[in-house]
Chains A and B, each alone.
Chain A
Amino acid sequence: MKHCNICHVDIKTNQKYCPLCHQVLEGEADPEYKELYPEYVPLRREVLPLTKKVILFMTLVSVLVLLAVNLLTWDGTFWSLIPIGGILYFWLIVRYGVLSKQNIAFKLALLTTFLVIILNLIDQNYGPIETRGWALDYVTPLAFLACNLAISVIIWIRRINYRDYIFYLIAILIFSLVPIILVLVTVINVAWPSIAAFGLAIFILLFIIFFFPKSIKEEIKKRFHL
């Protein structure tokens, strides 16, 4: 066993220097000794990959170019915000759709909600007055309908995990009730997409209530405990 003659301590591990005072140690190392602590392996910290850097660089440049062109050829509208919104949505897909380790129901619900918000913003601010409202009339209910259908199919196929997914399904179900209210207060003029979305939502809700009643109650208790 090695010994430090300054600190007067025995050193159990195979040190060259005293851990306490960093002096050279006396004595011979025990050849039978089994290393208690593993070798130091430097962490391989993930550096930002080149492709990500290139895409990020291109994104920033194109956003700046779009803004510059828009301002230099000013015609009264901020048209550049539409492609910038598109680019932003691309990054949301990359961040929450591809790279995120969340479950797929969460990704679908989140990305659908973002898409609906972006398209509604575009609809409200651009284009001639008479064609406005397409996002609210068609896109919003139909996007929720598609999302409902997708999550239900996923739950149907991967039944093992349905407890996690049901929460997001319920969230989207509640969202798809919004267009029907808007139809009733005549903000939405084309009724059939909203009615279709509402119909599917009610159908799925009834299906869940009849066939998974216990898990639903339990899941709601878990997720909403105060």
Chain B
Amino acid sequence: MGSVRGQKPWFPLDNAAKIFPEVSNRKETNTFRVQIELKEEVDPETLQIAVDHILDRFPMFKVRLKSGFFWRYFDHNNSPFQIEPLPNQVCGQLNPKENNGYLFKVYYRHQIIAIEMFHSLSDGAGAFMFLKSVVYQYLVEKGNKITPDNRILTNDSLPTRDEYEDSYRTYYNHKNRKHIPEKKAFGIKGTPIPDNYVGLISGTLATDKMLELARRYNMTVTEYLAALMMWSIYVTKIQFREHLKANQKPVKILIPVNLRRHFPSQSLRNFTNFLKTNMMMARENITFSEIVDTVKSQFDEGMKKSELIRKMSENVAFETNIILRSTPFFLKKFLLKIGYQMLGLSLNTMSLTNVGKVDLPESMRPYIDNVSAAVYSGKFNTVNCAIVSFGGKFKITFTRSIIETTIEREFFRHFTELGMAVEIESNYVEEY
């Protein structure tokens, strides 16, 4: 039944996943979307068959969320899974009570196959593994001759224990777990979009030009885009208003780090940490090169192995605290909620996720037009950004919960001023 031999049909939530069910609601949905656009129209019936097939390969996603006396846990879900047409709402709330208890959705529309996933289940890397397998299976069901080339999990292999693993627990170090208190970050204010809708603006650029641009500053693409984002925030929100009280907080951009690249983990569940750029911008005449230097040194600092382990261990130490563990769940729920309100979102201005290059087998590439991702935007992190590159197409997707699009405008105009071609698409929220 899709469960690994010797593996229990249930498992506890991983370290990062534990917080999300307690703090999610209509405004803060904690979901994200990964999407592949094919070159042909998607046939929903074939897609349904493909998803039904491939879901047995991913028992860690074939679950429902349940609460026990001390913690929540994932229990094997035997109900059928139903794919749906893509809705207008981007990263809306996933209600576990609907959807047969599944914590993700598979959407289709014209050429698009998209997965929206609740963050408790997995992170972007895990979701992309799943999406690639779904698309592979779909193309196979369509009768195309393609090979997985060991880059895609298919039904030919069995799920392993390593894929189930809570890697935070495997790689944490209880000696290196110092808690460093943080200051609250600058928040991007704006007019909320009614009905908790999320506006999406996505820009497509050329990958090689992007790499060239980053190299010009001797930076990685993520570093360069983080610096550019800081610059855009400075220009649109802070410059010439340095004296305002709201602008006295540092601008902090949260950049998720895929820990699978730093530790030998095969896990398909959450295994991400983050680093933050941090700069007080309430002064005149900040230059782009100044931001570049700051961001670069902060990346070097944050990417250090000891620092990554420290952040991870800090969270695991919190979770393994015997007092928290033995608190009954209904009390723990409130503790986690209060803790997150105080420490969670207000510590960063926005999040910038670089999924990086999507790796697909050579035989599959001709069927795929572009790949993109999106992260929900909520009450505090009103603008978020997700970046994916596939082949020559470099897609930067902004999601926002406010009507204003000034940061997006400044960000994309920067590229057009350098003479690069930018192709914009939007989900029309600004025209309502």
Which residues of A are interface residues toward B (Cβ below 8 A)? 1, 4, 7-13, 15-22, 34-43, 45, 101, 218, 222-226
Known: A39-B88, A224-B68, A225-B73. A20 touches B97 (CB 8 A): no
Stretch at the interface among B183-191, B214-222, B422-430: B422-430
Q: B interface, by DSSP: helix, strand, loop or mixed?
A: mixed
Query: B81 within 8 Å of A by Cβ?
Result: no
| Other-chain contact of A222, B75, B200, B424, B427 (Cβ < 8 Å) | B75
Q: A22-B430, A37-B200, A224-B69 are in contact. Are A12 and B412 (CB under 8 A)?
A: no
Q: How long is the Cα–Cα vector from A203 to B6 in the complex, in angstroms?
A: 33
Q: Are B412 and A38 in contact (CB under 8 A)?
A: no
Contact A15 B201 (CB under 8 A): no
Give residues 374-432 of B contacting A (CB, 8 Å): 405, 408-409, 412-413, 416-417, 421-432
**A34 contacts across to B, CB distance below 8 A:** 110-111
Q: Is the Cβ of B109 less than 8 Å from the Cβ of A8?
A: no
Given contacts A37-B428, A40-B432, A226-B326, A7 and B412 within 8 Å (CB-CB): yes
Measured CB to CB, the closest approach of chain B to A109, in angstroms, equals 14
The reply to whether B426 and A9 form a contact with Cβ atoms under 8 Å apart is no
With beta carbons under 8 angstroms apart, the residue of A11, A37, A101 that contacts B427 is A37
* A35 and B425 alpha carbons, distance in the complex (Å): 10
By the criterion CB–CB under 8 Å, are A38 and B88 in contact?
A: yes
Q: A101: shortest Cβ distance to chain B, in Å?
A: 5
Q: A10-B421, A16-B431 are in contact. Are A226 and B203 (CB under 8 A)?
A: no
**For the complex, is B39 an interface residue (Cβ under 8 Å from A)?**
no
Residues from chain B with a CB closer than 8 A to the CB of A9 are 203, 412, 416, 422-424
Q: How large is the interface on B (under 10, 10 to 19, 20 to 34, 35 or more residues)?
A: 35 or more
Judged by a CB distance under 8 angstroms, whether B195 is at the interface is: yes
Q: Complex: how many Å from CA A172 to CA B164?
A: 35
B356 interface hit (Cβ, 8 Å): no
Closest partner residue, chain A, to B86 (CB atom) = A38
- Which residue of B has the minimal Cβ distance to A36? B425
- B344 CB contacts on chain A under 8 angstroms: none
- List 8 A-B residue pairs with CB atoms under 8 Å apart, sorted by A's residue number: A9-B203, A37-B86, A38-B86, A39-B88, A40-B197, A40-B432, A43-B195, A222-B73
Residues in B whose Cβ lies below 8 Å from that of A45: 195
CB-nearest residue of chain B to A7: B413
Q: Is B339 at the interface (CB under 8 A from chain A)?
A: no
Q: B112 near A: Cβ within 8 Å? A: yes
What residues on B are CB-neighbors of A18 within 8 Å? 424
Q: In the complex, are the beta carbons of B409 and A225 less than 8 A apart?
A: no
Q: Would you call B416 and A222 a contact (CB within 8 A)?
A: no
* Given A11-B424, A38-B85, A38-B109, also A19-B68 (CB < 8 A): no
Q: Do A20 and B110 form a contact, CB below 8 Å, given A38-B85, A224-B70? A: no
Contacts of B201 in A (CB 8 A): 19-20
Report B177-235 residues with CB < 8 Å from chain A CB.
Answer: 195, 197, 200-201, 203-204
A41–B325 Cα distance when bound, in Å, is 44
Q: For residue B131, give the distance in angstroms from its CB to the closest CB of chain A.
A: 17
Chain A min CB distance to B88 (Å): 5
Q: Are A19 and B424 in contact (CB-based, < 8 A)?
A: yes
